[in-house]
Amino acid sequence: MSLPGLTLTEKLGLAALHRCDPEKAHGLSLWALRAGLASLPGVITSARLETRLAGLALPNPVGLAAGYDKNAVALAPLMRSGFGFLEVGAATPRPQPGNPKPRLFRLSEDRAAINRFGFNNDGACEIAARLALRPKGPVPVGLNLGANKDSTDRAADFAEVLATCGPHVDFATVNVSSPNTERLRDLQGRAALAGLLAGVVEVRAGLSRPVPVFLKIAPDLTPAEIEDVAEVALSSGIDGIIATNTTLSREGLKSEHRDEKGGLSGAPLFEKSTRVLAQLSRLTEGRLPLIGVGGITTPEQAWEKIRAGATAVQVYTAMVYEGISLAAKLARGLELIAAREGFARVSDAVGTGRDRWL
């Protein structure tokens, strides 16, 4: 199945953005959304698309990954953009500028991007205030939790952000998999991860309403490390795993920017992230829902993630090349594929094709 072509307005908009510095283009795209310059489809849903994720009711299983709306400044238009759920952030306890610029690179030949932002954000208090004012609607909004670069207790940072923002979100994600904060990925080890998640779950217990907590992991873990993550996640009381964040691998890239430091996202990540997803699906045996992220551009690729074990999927980098209309195209494409394959609901296909990725 091929995606419908871009509208003339979207083609012109993307062409203009691609003539700008990538980080400036990122900011301009958010401004355009807030200014109402994009044609938005509203909520995309149907009986076949409706999905339950850790107690959340999703209109459809296509979500926006963290990193696009870092500071929760465009929630209203994003909720009308066709996504079934949104994840903003990452947020850290204190505001921080992130790493020096330039720190975002388009790899157009590879349909990819490399970033080394380093959790640049306005801080948990400012982001919480925006989340508190977000419009109500059927699209759940979650927050990616991060740690300050200069923190002496990064595990405590995650709990602090949840305490500050938890009353205003529908879910939260513990992000220990960004490669752009030094030694952050060390928190994916069994003992460190268990302690960190225990602190987050303790804070979650004190919130006025239950908030599902997800764990976002890297695609560069060994099979043994993936097994450790699965065991800790199952015993910790969290509600799901997001697989995966960006990769440090540069295998097969063509772009002149291929050797830039940072995390690689986009098309080259698809197979690697899907294999990690399938391994987690085998290890967790349906006891935790999984969210598949990495390299999704077409409905067929979203379908492959679901068949590999994902209850829902997330996209971000592909929007650089396909525009904001990608969310609606993926959701409608999933609906058509499920009908063609004889599934009453997209969610009925979760894990049905896992073995081909193991």
What residues contact 131, with CB distance under 8 A and at least 6 apart? Answer: 72, 75, 88, 141, 143, 165, 168, 169
Q: How far is 301 from 136, CA to CA, in rounded Å?
A: 31
For residue 351, the SS3 value is: coil
The answer to whether 91 touches 41, Cβ cutoff 8 Å, is no
Contact, 72 vs 358, CB < 8 A?
no
> Comparing C-alpha atoms, which of 194, 314, 179 is closest to residue 243?
314
Q: What is the rounded CA–CA span in Å between residue 17 and residue 129?
A: 30
* Torsion sign (Cα): 268, 271, 274, 280: negative
CA-derived radius of gyration, the chain: 19
Residue of 29, 151, 178, 236 with catalytic role: 178
CA dist 258 and 250 (Å) reads: 7
φ and ψ of 215, to 5 deg: -115, 125
Is residue 177 among the annotated active site residues?
Answer: no
Which residues share a beta bridge with 104?
115
- Alpha-carbon gap, residue 172 to 289, rounded angstroms: 14
DSSP characters over 105-144: EEEGGGTEEEE---S-BS-HHHHHHHHHTPPPSSS-EEEE
Residues labelled catalytic = 178
